[in-house]
Amino acid sequence: MKTALAYLVLAAGGVITASVGAVAHRGFAPWGVIGSVLMVAFAAVFARTSMGFSGLGAFAATWVAMTLVWSLEGPGGSVLIAQDALGISWLVGSAVVMIAAAIVPTRILVGRHGAA
């Protein structure tokens, strides 16, 4: 039960960071993008250190799903993540920090005591 709840929390974190970042990345350019990407980086590292690669996968999968939803055109023709420099910076920057969280060795993230 504890493990299922942990995955649910990480998935909710993916939804929240994607939603907040989709709105905040356009504010105060370029600081909105930088802050949004840093938010994803911290959340991805948290997911990796708490539940390993499967936790990072749960976080990243929900982040990608919600980001896809927010990048689609709405009924009035508007989008939250536009295909401009800010939108692409948000998408690419977030993907890069999630990949970085995946390839950093576990020993660096949790130390020797966390390695099996």
| Assigned domain for 44 exists | yes
55-79 pLDDT per residue, tens: 999 999 999 999 999 999 989 988 9
Number of structural domains found in the chain: 1
Query: Could you tell me the two tokens for 78?
Result: 């508007």
Contact between 11 and 58 under an 8 Å Cβ cutoff? The reply is yes
Return the half-sphere exposure (C-beta side, CA atoms, 13 A cut-off) of residue 15.
Answer: 6
Segment 8-52, tens digit of pLDDT: 999 999 999 999 999 999 988 899 999 999 999 999 999 999 999
Q: Which two tokens stand for residue 85?
A: 């420099």
Tell me, yes or no, whether 3 lies in a domain: no
In a domain, 86, yes or no: yes
pTM metric for this prediction: 0.90
The answer to the question of residue 9 being in a domain is no
Distance of alpha carbon 10 from alpha carbon 41, whole angstroms: 13
> What range does the domain containing 65 cover?
25-69+80-107
Question: Is residue 20 situated within a structural domain?
Answer: no
Q: How far is it, in rounded angstroms, from Cα 10 to Cα 59?
A: 5
How far is 10 from 66, CA to CA, in rounded Å? 14
Dihedral of alpha carbons 110, 112, 113, 116, sign: positive
- Inside any domain, residue 33: yes
In a domain, 16, yes or no: no
Q: Is residue 101 part of a domain?
A: yes
